[in-house]
Amino acid sequence: MKIEKSYNLPFPRNQVFAAWISSETVISPATRMNVDPRVGGHYKLFMETPDFTAKCEGRFSKIVEDEFLQYSWEWNGDGETSEIAVKFSDHENGTHIELIHEKFTKQESVAMHDAGWDSYVGELRELLENASS
């Protein structure tokens, strides 16, 4: 099972790519990030509230600066490890993102992540807009 998405953001490709792999890009429901953006490096997203703590993590398997990322993803140690591939290319008004998130074993994971990607990219757009103003 997989998710295929595409988005256009009105920002330069290098800015979008840098934000995607930055520990400073903390987008809800995350409360903090720890990213080591190199092949073999980790991608960790932490969600911490008084009532709930969770961690999502993965490892980068391929990085082409400003163009492409591939990394694994596991939600809070649930044993389902999926794969994410993100292609960044120039678009007439900024950056085009093509995302494939695959190797899901549970349908509920597909539904949750499908909505999650739309929310993530929407909030990434807001974060970049606020940084530009």
Residue with tokens 């678009």: 91
- pTM listed for this prediction: 0.94
pLDDT digits (tens, 9 = 90+) for 35-79: 999 999 999 999 999 998 999 999 999 999 999 999 999 988 889
Is residue 133 pLDDT above 80, yes or no? no
Is residue 115 pLDDT above 90, yes or no? yes
Residues 6-14: what's their mean pLDDT?
98
Instruction: Say what the pLDDT of residue 108 is.
Output: 92
User: DSSP assignment of the chain, as one string?
Assistant: -EEEEEEEESS-HHHHHHHHT-TT---TT-SEEEE--STT-EEEEEEE-SS-EEEEEEEEEEEETTTEEEEEEEETT-S-EEEEEEEEEEETTEEEEEEEEE----HHHHHHHHHHHHHHHHHHHHHHHHHH-
